[in-house]
Amino acid sequence: MSGRHRLAAAVAAAALALTVSACGGSEEGKSSDATAVTYLTSFGTFGRDSYAYVALEKGYFEEAGLKVTIKPGTGTVDVMKLIGSGQADYGTGDLSGVITTMAGEKLPVRAVAAVHQKSMAGIASLGKAIDSPEKLAGASIADASGSTNMIIFPAYAKAAGIDPKSVKFVPSSPQSLPQLLAAGSVDAIGQFVAGKPLLEKAAGGKTVTMLPYADKLPDLYGNGLLVSTDKLNSDRAQVEKFTAALIKGLVYAVEHPDEAAQLLKKHDRTADEKVAAAELTEMRPYVLGDGATAGKLDRARIEAMITLLAGTGTLKSTPSADDLGVYDVVKP
């Protein structure tokens, strides 16, 4: 796994030096005196990443005095390493993955906002064969090694009252997961809830059933906005402006999914607008549900996440909440 992460990080680092392509990045800025910064998505470019392009196209970044280049990330760990090494300014990563990573390697990175107020991790299967956690026993589940779904699964299984060892995880590349599910090569796959429309398209319109981890673990955050400690210490004002602009784009995207999908299409010609809009619709309750302030990161919930993940025995050490986040960047 470490070799895979090193390779992915090298690829991502090289990508940051390239001219922005139509399939992943964008570089816009009408103001010549704007400060140039780079933002990484969590993994690739999907409909659920549209909010960054909304903030770009709607001028939210420009209003904050920023010229933002958006690049596709290659997973939480690599995003953290690129930010920590100064090769990117901001990025998105799953907060359970951030906790797990920081438990083994202290990186100069902090979370400053919650993109998803609830985790979007889950298990996807075709039809209704696995429509409850109890039916996971004996199932084969494909997912990428070290993925968020695999990291959280022991905690989910415990909360659902099933034995995590009764499930067989099949290490697979993220790109192969929709095809493996559609072909029936495995019983289920690990997948973000917002990925359901894409999976149903890959399966030729067959129904996909999701088991969201949030049903059993409602206090888990999903993705968060990450920044380096150096940036926080040297330019806190910029961090606050970038965060506010990105969250403004996030709220607009989930409230106007069709328009957001069109804006994504401008920067990624391969994007399917219908699928992208459907992903944002699926994502909306994870951003705005339960009356939460969009983007707000709460220390107590991070502490609860640390305790929960530590209880699975998967953490090499127990980081503190202050090792992981800064909790007053997003204003009430």
Task: Flag whether pLDDT at 12 surpasses 70.
Answer: no
- Cα separation, 142 vs 150, in Å, equals 10
Res 162: pLDDT = 93
What average pLDDT is seen over the chain?
A: 90
**Pick from 1-15, 70-84, 180-194, 310-324: least confident:** 1-15
Q: How confident is the model at residue 326 (pLDDT cuts 50, 70, 90)?
A: very high
Res 313: pLDDT = 85
Given this chain, do its domains 2-118+220-324 and 122-215 carry the same CATH topology?
yes
Backbone angles phi, psi at 141, to 5 degrees: -125, 120
Average of pLDDT values for 146-171? Answer: 91
Give residue limits of the domains in the chain: 2-118+220-324, 122-215
- CATH code of 122-215, in short, is 3.40.190.10
Res 223: pLDDT = 97
- Cα separation, 332 vs 319, in Å, equals 26
Task: Flag whether pLDDT at 150 surpasses 60.
Answer: yes
Q: How confident is the model at residue 32 (pLDDT cuts 50, 70, 90)?
A: low
Model pTM?
Answer: 0.87
Q: Name the CATH topology of 2-118+220-324.
A: D-Maltodextrin-Binding Protein; domain 2 (3.40.190)
Q: Among candidates 117, 170, 131, which has minimal Cα distance to 147?
A: 170
Task: Flag whether pLDDT at 142 surpasses 50.
Answer: yes
The answer for residues whose C-beta is within 8 angstroms of residue 150's C-beta and 6 or more apart is 143, 144, 169, 190
- Cα separation, 199 vs 143, in Å, equals 14
Higher pLDDT, 2 or 236: 236
Average of pLDDT values for 48-76? Answer: 96
